[in-house]
Structure 1
Amino acid sequence: MSLPVSTYRLQITSAFDLDAAAEVIDYITRLGADWLYLSPLLRAEEGSDHGYDVIDHGTVDPARGGPEALARLSERAVLAGRGILVDIVPNHVGVNTPHSNAWWWDLLRAGQGSRYAEAFDVDWPAGNGRLLLPVLGDGDTEADRLSVVGDELHYYDNRFPIAPGTADDGASAAVVHDRQHYELVNWRRADTDLNYRRFFAVNTLAGVRVEVPWVFDESHREILRWVRSGQVQGLRVDHPDGLADPGGYLDRLHAAMPDGYLLVEKILEGREQLPSSWSTDGTTGYDALADFDRVLVDPAGQGSLDALEAALQAERAGAATATPVSWTELVYSGKRAIADGILQSEVRRLDRLLPDVPDAVDALSELIAWFPVYRSYLPVGRHELDTAVRLARQRRPDLDGTITALLPYLTDPTHPAAVRFQQTSGMVMAKGVEDTAYYRYSRLTSLNEVGADPSEFAVPVDEFHRRQQTRLAVSPASQTTLSTHDTKRGEDVRARISVLAEIPDEWAAVLAELRALAPLGDAPFENLLWQAIVGSWPASTDRLIGYAEKASREANLSTTWTAPNESFENAMRDLVRRLAEPGLLQSTVAAFVDRVQRAGWSNSLALKLIQITAPGVPDVYQGSELWEMSLVDPDNRRPVDYAVRRDYLDRVTDGWLPPIDETGAAKLLVTTRALRLRRDRPELFTRHAPVEAFGPAAAHVVAYDRGGAVAVATRLPDALARTGWGDTTIMLAGHPWQDILTGTRHSGGEVRLTELLARYPVALLVPATTAPEETAQ
């Protein structure tokens, strides 16, 4: 079996198609990455930049280059010695434009008589035999806007099929509509009445039942052709938690590609482990991201930032006294709001599977709100359900009888309610935590990342090493990552924000100034927004407004997606626009950014070195070899300037040691040297052994020996800048070493960090006799 040493993620779009990807293979190869990692390639909704809204499983998207371009890319990858990993989407399809999705169109036309009725997860009885489509606007006369056009029913630009023979008598559009296998309803009814499974709360992404053999076969025929023909060597499975039987799905996929590399986008909570029974090589690395960020966070800042968060939350609530903020309670309230709100239709459907347990919606919502991980995989994960039961009973003793009645059904892996509960708990977790609680909790927002637990403030160095040793032993082929198309903040935004943990009192003072200059009236959100601004500065006005609008609506407090608060949002936009103008607001932000920028850069270089050299398969998200200052999507899918990166790579390869500055070229140096060493010298990366530091600044270094390659990274750089390394040393084997970042040679034994890290805050050492030629000086 072929496994990648590292990957480089490319977002394939109409503007950067497969032929454009082929044009950067030489750059990616020279950078040092092993495999290309591509976003979804199947035909997607017109204009889709992400590709997760597949409308045709039978072909590579023509807008992304089509099958011929994939063949050309594969040929060039083979010649360059690169593999290809492709993102696939088994859980759902795009239905925003029904006429473009043949499966969905036929379902609407023929209803339960359609061949594709079995492919979609529809509760027909709940719609009285019709599929409810939440597309109508508000108002009592919206149905009057329907019109019959040929063999279609139109509503504005929306087109729907007409069942054969149902419009032949010239009846009105309203009457024709009443004869269809679908019913167009007000868009607000999606929250409560929708009767088809979606991806989370996205009405335009309909769930498919890939557990049905023919659905698997037809939705994977083209994908597996890529693998069997040798065009693609690995697959990354998007959102396996949405499937009825993720383990069974992976077994079938693995059987079809036994020699391929197979990853799952699985979010692990806390110390949760991937089910050992799954036929997969590992996860996409969010669990690793959380550890990498936290080993660089100063634990001493927690008390002050906790106090600040408590005061801000008290102000939001109008409370006279600030009390400690409970992340557990924030998660519960966020999840319960989602279960009672935009995903109530999913809970109600679950309730309909339990006719012997009357009025179970409240109890089901409570259990889901307390479920501690995304989902279980019965019989695996039964203890997680037991935890939810215990916590739900504590909070709501009035539901004890109903919960007791539910348990025989929810613990039976074969019962439809147990299957549906497992699928639903993950939806509520994602929407209630990632897309709600993360935007309500502002203590230190670099910790509010996909797959991370914001209540874990920092990871001690010893614990960091233990977790890396566990990863090496348990899942050495799992990806590791720092930035993705789903991260809430780019890696270097988080690296700068983490500096606030070293200077919490300074941040509290600056935040007070900024809030006084541009008040919004929502204290925790202001903290979150100002951290994003400081972290990404100097971001453009349009980018910051886009972030502010999304973040505030996701928080769902001062404004919402469905009922925007115009006065609040106008004030927010005005705040951002004022930042583009000379004045006290701009100068205050610029001065504080100048204060934390160099420490942030140090954190960034440390993050990159740690991620690339730590156990696992490191992925470099497109362009993040320079500073990755993106905010949440779609900001993180902006085009990448490869001309600039080629230029820097040429210069670095020729021996340039760039300064640590706004260009980010120093980060590219770290990236390329580390990637090349991992790819070309895998024998130097066979273990993870901590390298101990001694002396007054020993707490400011994290170092480890990977089996010949030794990584050394600075942590807590702001405080270090005030004290210096002094006589701090690390102990190495007694032979000469060479830092492949700078080419500098060092004697073995006791090595002074003031010398080792004189130029950069990181070093990557190898035995001098085996150092790559390009680093020799």
Structure 2
Amino acid sequence: MRTPVSTYRLQIRPSFTLQDAAELTGYLKDLGVDWVYVSPILTAEEGSDHGYDVTDPSTVDPSRGGPEGLEALSKAARKEGLGVLADIVPNHMGVASPGQNAWWWQLLKEGRSSKYAEAFDVDWDFGGGRIRIPVLGGDDDLDQLRIVDGELHFYDHRFPLADGTWTEGDSPQDVHNRQHYELVGWRRADAELNYRRFFAVNTLAGVRVEVPWVFDEAHQEIVRWFREELVDGLRIDHPDGLADPEGYLARLKEATGGAYLLVEKILEPGEKLPETFQCEGTTGYDALADVDRLFVDPAAEEFLDDLDARLRDEAEPANYQVMIHGTKRRIADGILRSEILRLSRLVQETSALPRLDVADALAEIICWFPVYRTYLPYGQEILEESIEHAAKHRPELAGVLEGLRPLLLDTTGELARRFQQTSGMVMAKGVEDTAFFRYTRLGTLTEVGADPTEFAVSPGEFHQRMARRQAELPLSMTTLSTHDTKRSEDARARISVISESVPEWELFLGTVQDLTPIPDGPLSALIWQAIAGAWPADRSRLQVYALKAAREAGNSTNWTDPNLEFERHLAAAVDSVFDVPEVGAALENFVAELEPYGTSNSLSAKLVQLTMPGVPDVYQGTEFRDGSLTDPDNRRPVDFQARIDALAELDGGARPARTNEAAKLLVVSRALRLRRDRPELFGGYQPVAATGAAAAHVVAFSRGADAPGAVTVATRLPKALERNGGWRDTAVDLPAKSRDELTGTTFDAGPVPLATLLEHYPVALLVPVD
């Protein structure tokens, strides 16, 4: 098995094709990258910028470069010595436009008799033998149906007609009533849908890859990539949605000849991948959380909690556990109600338990889950504990919960399997997409895969976690930014400085709230932190982010029934940054207060991530400072030419100031090159001791195993460091004579003053020399 030393993620789309990626391989090699990593490239919904709505798994998307584009990228990568990692989407397919998806079209045309009835996850009996398609505004919209060229049309939507179900002169409504599908109002999807989706996205229909022929047909093109040596590894999207993740990974490992596999699996603190999973690790959200918390000042927790309570106009700050129980119930009883009811129908098939109580009890168990899903029998204790918590919280359901226990633990039953598929949906929508926009004391903490109640991580705790990572998952990915992160690494690095600047943050927030109030205290904290983290940013980017954040939070407005008056106030607050001089000046002053320390955090976090145990990924463009917010903001085009030119200047001998954008490029390129060219320096993990008055402000480690290895030294809590008098007598004890890859300066073994070591940059990357 070929494995990567590092990866570089590129978002492939019609405006940046596989051919464009091929043109970048020379730059990626120069940067120090080992593998190029591409977003989904199978044919997707026309116009899709992300590619996760695959409509034809048998072809590489022509709009993304087609098979010739993949061949061009692979050839260019091989020429530069790079591997290729591809993102694939086994859990679902895009069905927004049935005419673009041959599988879905045939299913709608032929119904239960279709070959693809086994491929999609449909509860036919619940739909009266028909698939419910939630595209109408309301049932009155059936009057807008038309028969056009032998198809049923609803505005721009096209649907097939079953053979023999229509003749000239039939009304469109009568023809519709004879089909294997039923067009229904979109609001009915919450409780009445009868096909499995990706989360609550009606246009992404779940696929049953656990069926052998479905796996084969869905992976025929992917297997070809390995047979023809076009691709070296895969990133598997959302494995928690699969019926049998363990079996799927085993099958995929075999089909790809034992290739390198990563799963987009969110591990909660302390959670581990099942040992039976045949993959090399995760996509790195767990690593992101560990790195971020190194740069958060634990002393700020009490003060930010107090501010949070005041913003909520309550005596106490938000209780996160109570909050996520409520947000998960909101999801289970709302947009994912149809999934809960499907589980309850399965219970009714084998039990006389009351149907509504069963649905209530199932939702309650899921809402007590501390993880996305269990993989029975692995994780049985988690399920048992969640049932116990549900019984204590809802004693009136104790009998029903006890009746459900053996059914949910029965690994041979459909209920247990579907329950596991459903729990991750509720977790993702209730926590990531709701609570993370409500729990706002510090935006750094509410990132995908993190537990925001863990406020900070000490260097000692970080060292313990990295030693475990080296021992257990040395080939797992590490990351700081992805296409799914809610704030880029640099936005979070700046926001983390708020933990060292609580009085300044309170003053700034109070000023802007007085001048242009957002009538939702917790949301105001979220929005203004995001604006400060992203600044400078244009008006449209901030408006799109603010509206999405408010609707996801769902407290003052939401997606389905927006509060237009609240949204007017919100938009006015964002506009005030550009239109009200006092607000613009307050923001500029606050950002200026954060910026030097945010830059220090950015360089430090990046060097730690690139040199810690695991396979580091660089998300496209983030070798420069990038203040992106949640998607689609984090998928904007990248100016690669600027980065190519800046790297050439660095390689020509330029030494950027620590505040220069190229300083991050220096850190990224030198760390990636060293990992690729000197792998023997990265075989272990040992903390490097620091002594002196400011020892708490440094994190340092050696990657050596049996011999001296690369040493990383990074600054933490830089504002407090400066406030307390700088490094003073603080030193690190270098295990060998070393040269700093960033400055070229050589240092003898033994204690080295940090004031000297970190004279030019807040970080050092040291290599042993003779």
Question: Which moves more between the two structures, 748-757 or 387-396?
Answer: 387-396
- The one-letter amino acid of 1:340's match is D
* Counterpart for residue 773 of structure 1: none
* Counterpart for residue 455 of structure 1: 453
| Distance in 2 of aligned mates of 1:91 and 1:73 | 26
Whether the aligned pair in 2 keeps the contact of 1:691 and 1:704 (CA below 8 Å) is: yes
| Distance in 2 of aligned mates of 1:651 and 1:165 | 70
* Alpha-carbon offset, residue 260 of structure 1: 1.1
| Distance in 2 of aligned mates of 1:271 and 1:21 | 37
* Alpha-carbon offset, residue 164 of structure 1: 0.7
Which of residues 519, 533, 537 is equivalent to 1:535? 533
* Counterpart for residue 763 of structure 1: 764
Are 1:348 and 2:378 matched, yes or no? no
Are 1:292 and 2:291 matched, yes or no? yes
* Alpha-carbon offset, residue 258 of structure 1: 3.3
Are 1:693 and 2:685 matched, yes or no? no
Whether the aligned pair in 2 keeps the contact of 1:335 and 1:432 (CA below 8 Å) is: yes
Any residues of structure 2 matched to 1:216-227 within 5 Å, and which? Answer: 216-227=215-226
* Counterpart for residue 525 of structure 1: 523
- Gapped regions of structure 2 (runs ≥ 5): none
* Alpha-carbon offset, residue 30 of structure 1: 0.2
- The one-letter amino acid of 1:731's match is D
* Alpha-carbon offset, residue 511 of structure 1: 1.0
* Alpha-carbon offset, residue 509 of structure 1: 2.1
Whether the aligned pair in 2 keeps the contact of 1:304 and 1:505 (CA below 8 Å) is: no
Any residues of structure 2 matched to 1:180-191 within 5 Å, and which? Answer: 180-191=179-190
Whether the aligned pair in 2 keeps the contact of 1:146 and 1:153 (CA below 8 Å) is: yes
State the SS of the aligned residue for 1:9: strand
* Alpha-carbon offset, residue 169 of structure 1: 5.3
* Counterpart for residue 329 of structure 1: 322
| Distance in 2 of aligned mates of 1:373 and 1:582 | 45
Whether the aligned pair in 2 keeps the contact of 1:265 and 1:284 (CA below 8 Å) is: yes
* Counterpart for residue 202 of structure 2: 203
* Counterpart for residue 265 of structure 2: 266
| Distance in 2 of aligned mates of 1:646 and 1:638 | 18
* Counterpart for residue 702 of structure 2: 705
- The one-letter amino acid of 1:747's match is D
| Distance in 2 of aligned mates of 1:426 and 1:582 | 44
* Alpha-carbon offset, residue 657 of structure 1: 1.0
| Distance in 2 of aligned mates of 1:279 and 1:87 | 17
| Distance in 2 of aligned mates of 1:714 and 1:658 | 18
Are 1:475 and 2:477 matched, yes or no? no
Provide, for residues 413-467 of structure 1, a one-character-per-residue CA deviation record: whole Å limited to 9, x for no partner.
1111101100000000000000000000111111100000001000111000000
State the SS of the aligned residue for 2:57: strand
- The one-letter amino acid of 1:228's match is R
* Alpha-carbon offset, residue 574 of structure 1: 1.4
* Counterpart for residue 239 of structure 2: 240
- Gapped regions of structure 1 (runs ≥ 5): 316-320, 770-777
Whether the aligned pair in 1 keeps the contact of 2:516 and 2:576 (CA below 8 Å) is: no
Provide, for residues 515-547 of structure 1, a one-character-per-residue CA deviation record: whole Å limited to 9, x for no partner.
111112100000000000111111110000010
* Counterpart for residue 255 of structure 1: 254
Any residues of structure 2 matched to 1:371-520 within 5 Å, and which? Answer: 371-520=369-518
Are 1:656 and 2:654 matched, yes or no? yes
State the SS of the aligned residue for 1:127: coil
Whether the aligned pair in 1 keeps the contact of 2:504 and 2:590 (CA below 8 Å) is: no
Any residues of structure 2 matched to 1:714-725 within 5 Å, and which? Answer: 714-722=715-723, 723-725=725-727
- Alignment size in residue pairs: 760
* Counterpart for residue 150 of structure 2: 151
* Alpha-carbon offset, residue 659 of structure 1: 1.2
| Distance in 1 of aligned mates of 2:440 and 2:449 | 17
Provide, for residues 285-339 of structure 1, a one-character-per-residue CA deviation record: whole Å limited to 9, x for no partner.
00000000001111011110111112222x2xxxxx4114211111111101000
Whether the aligned pair in 1 keeps the contact of 2:534 and 2:629 (CA below 8 Å) is: yes
* Counterpart for residue 307 of structure 1: 306
* Counterpart for residue 141 of structure 2: 142
| Distance in 1 of aligned mates of 2:5 and 2:227 | 22
| Alpha-carbon distance change, 570 to 582 in structure 1, aligned in 2, over 3 angstroms | closer
| Distance in 1 of aligned mates of 2:317 and 2:53 | 42
Whether the aligned pair in 1 keeps the contact of 2:311 and 2:522 (CA below 8 Å) is: yes
TM-score by length of structure 2 reads 0.98
TM-score by length of structure 1 reads 0.97
Whether the aligned pair in 2 keeps the contact of 1:2 and 1:259 (CA below 8 Å) is: no
* Counterpart for residue 358 of structure 1: 354
| Distance in 1 of aligned mates of 2:202 and 2:423 | 18
Which of residues 666, 670, 682 is equivalent to 2:667? 670
* Counterpart for residue 34 of structure 1: 34
* Alpha-carbon offset, residue 407 of structure 1: 0.8
* Alpha-carbon offset, residue 141 of structure 1: 2.4
* Alpha-carbon offset, residue 510 of structure 1: 1.7
- The one-letter amino acid of 2:43's match is R
State the SS of the aligned residue for 1:185: strand
Whether the aligned pair in 1 keeps the contact of 2:658 and 2:760 (CA below 8 Å) is: no
* Alpha-carbon offset, residue 358 of structure 1: 2.0
Aligned CA-pair RMSD: 0.9
State the SS of the aligned residue for 2:628: coil
Tell me the percent identity. Answer: 58
| Distance in 1 of aligned mates of 2:701 and 2:579 | 47
